[in-house]
Amino acid sequence: MRKFWNIADAAVYALLTHDGVDSWNYNCCTYVSAVGMHPKHYMIAVYHGSKSLDNLRKNPHQSTVLHLLSPQQAPLIRVLGRQTGYAVNKHAKLLRGGHLDIWRGYPVLKEAAAWAELRSLGPLHVDAAFAETSSGPTDHDLWLWELVSTKLNSENYLNTGTMRRLGILR
């Protein structure tokens, strides 16, 4: 039986980040939530130890793209989420595979269901009392983003249920 936190199928996204110098990285994420309507804000949890989190810490107020992935992009999870940006240049690998296009000056995954241009408002700073739980420190940092623009390419998007059926998620 599944647990409370994974009963509902979550949309699967890829967050593009930049180190502020010359390097792009892509990171698979499912902990994404709209947290405001006017202006439209999103909260994205970024995994500790990831190249994406390092990019955000180096360049905390960057503008970038959140990709809502399409079902046909499920095989890209092996690059986007199962490989580290420290060992693999994900941007170069995706470019060589013909998976990238340019939208509003950003290198985007061309088959994504939608793109959202976001401006980082920075990390959510939590009181020290909440920084560590009874089971240890948290494994993600929360980042707040403001929506700048969007482009919808398809209403058919990848979710965690599809990834389970494909054997990508347990």
Over its length of 170 residues, how does the chain's per-residue pLDDT go in tens digits? 778 877 899 999 999 999 999 899 999 999 999 999 999 999 999 988 899 999 999 999 999 999 999 999 999 999 999 899 999 999 999 999 999 999 999 999 999 999 999 999 999 876 555 555 555 567 778 999 999 999 999 999 999 999 999 999 87
Which pLDDT value is given to residue 57?
94
Q: Which superfamily does CATH assign the domain made up of 4-165 to?
A: Electron Transport, Fmn-binding Protein; Chain A (2.30.110.10)
Which pLDDT value is given to residue 137?
64
Which pLDDT value is given to residue 1?
73
Q: Which residues contact 132 (CB under 8 A, 6 or more apart)?
A: 138
Which pLDDT value is given to residue 92?
97
Neighbouring-strand partners of residue 72: none
- As a three-state string, the secondary structure of the chain is CCCHHHCCCCECEEEEEECCCCCEEEEEECCEEEEEECCEEEEEEEECCCHHHHHHHHCCCCEEEEEECCHHHHHHHHHHCCCCCCCCCHHHHHHHCCCEEEECCEEEECCCCEEEEEEEEEECCCCHHHHEECCEECCEEEEEEEEEEEEECCCCCCEHHHHHHCCCCC
Which pLDDT value is given to residue 128?
55
pTM: 0.91
